Amino acid sequence: MAKSNKRRPAPEKPVKARKCVFCAKKGQAIDYKDTTLLRTYISERGKIRARRVTGNCVQHQRDIATAVKNAREVALLPFTSSTR
């Protein structure tokens, strides 16, 4: 009898449910002047981290993106990193 070409499905890993940090802390605001907070959402290359990486909800991820872009315009954050 010939072997089946079908692959066995990969075992499913348990998905850890992440909660948005800003939804959990209702009073915390996203401000473009708070560079220490914004740097946690920027990669070492200077790119804005994806929502699936940060675990934020849609609305707060948009707020972070606009805050990072505003901070870059005012020169509080660099557009790119200086490492090569």
What are the structural domain ranges in the chain?
A: 31-84
CA pair distance 44, 78, nearest whole angstrom: 11
Band of the pLDDT at 84, cuts 50, 70, 90? low
Tell me if 56 sits within 8 A of 20, measured CB to CB: yes
**pLDDT by residue (tens digit) across 29-72?**
999 999 999 999 999 999 999 999 999 999 999 999 999 999 99
Please give the helix or strand (H or E) that residue 38 lies within, else none: helix 35-39
CA pair distance 74, 84, nearest whole angstrom: 24
54 SS3 class = helix
pTM of the model: 0.74
Q: Is residue 18 pLDDT above 90, yes or no?
A: no
We find that the CATH architecture of domain 31-84 is: Irregular (4.10)
